[in-house]
Structure 1
Amino acid sequence: MSPERHPCVYIMASAVRGTLCVGVTSALQRRIGQHREGATGGFTTRYAVQRLVHFERFGDMAHAIAREKQLKAWRRDWKINLIQAANPDWRDLAVDLDFPPLPPVR
């Protein structure tokens, strides 16, 4: 199964320790594109939540959905600790999936 069609839970951020969004998808690259284009609308567009800072792949969607629900129930500081454990610099991981780098956040 290609990375494009693999159940994933992801966390997007507006900036380092900025606004966070937890989601689930079976098409991570498509979802990143939607966030970057503002196609998701509402909250994520209003707060420019466009940087992929964490993701986890799963073998099936049921497990991915269960993990998404778990992460959404977590406190903000727990989510920040999860991100920093694997991505201490809050690097935009979408660059590794062939997306162009976003401009620095001021």
Structure 2
Amino acid sequence: MKKFVYIVTDRNRNSLHVGISADLIKTLDFYKQIPSLFFDSSQHLTRLVYFEEFKTEMQALSRFKLISRFTRMQKERLIRSCNPDWVDLTIGLDFEHITMNRPLSNQVKLPLAILS
């Protein structure tokens, strides 16, 4: 079963939270539904800015522990290495989730010339 190590942030990039999850989409939905009792809207951790996928829980846990010990600057460097504009990666995950779970007959078929 796949495991993910991820970093989420708020819209102002003030907070960086490192987490580990087996279902990244469900975890991100949870973050979006956290009651606003604890945070104002600018502090909601709703932007996925970094994630890694692992095949085993042990690999993911080891990486999670390492990234959790990173300083703020190290986490920012890690994020910028693959997401320099701090784009919310949730959109891509949603698209992949939708297309991967749709029956093949409903998927768009590309001509072979485009694929090669």
TM-score if structure 1 supplies the norm length? 0.78
What is the aligned-residue RMSD (CA, Å)?
Answer: 2.3
- Which residue identity is paired with 1:79? K
Relative distance call for 1:86 and 1:25 in structure 2 (3 A) is same
Relative distance call for 1:42 and 1:26 in structure 2 (3 A) is farther
> Which of the residues 18, 34, 38 maps onto 2:14?
18
How many correspondences in the alignment? 93
Larger radius of gyration: 2
Q: After the TM superposition, list the runs of 4 or more consecutive aligned residues in structure 1 that deviate by more than 2 angstroms.
A: 15-18
Q: 2:77 matched to 1:81? A: yes
Q: How far did 1:42 drift?
A: 5.7
1:93 corresponding residue in structure 2? 89
Relative distance call for 1:42 and 1:70 in structure 2 (3 A) is farther
**What do the CA deviations read for 1:35-73 (whole angstroms, capped 9, x no partner)?**
11116x867x89311100000000101110111110010
2:52 corresponding residue in structure 1? 56
What are the ranges of 5 or more consecutive residues in structure 2 without an aligned counterpart? 96-116
Identity %: 33
SS of residue matched to 2:19: strand
What are the ranges of 5 or more consecutive residues in structure 1 without an aligned counterpart? 100-106
Counterpart CA distance in 1 for 2:16 and 2:32 is: 14
> Which of the residues 20, 32, 37 maps onto 2:33?
37
Q: Is the 8 A contact 1:17 1:80 kept in 2?
A: no
Counterpart CA distance in 2 for 1:71 and 1:46 is: 24
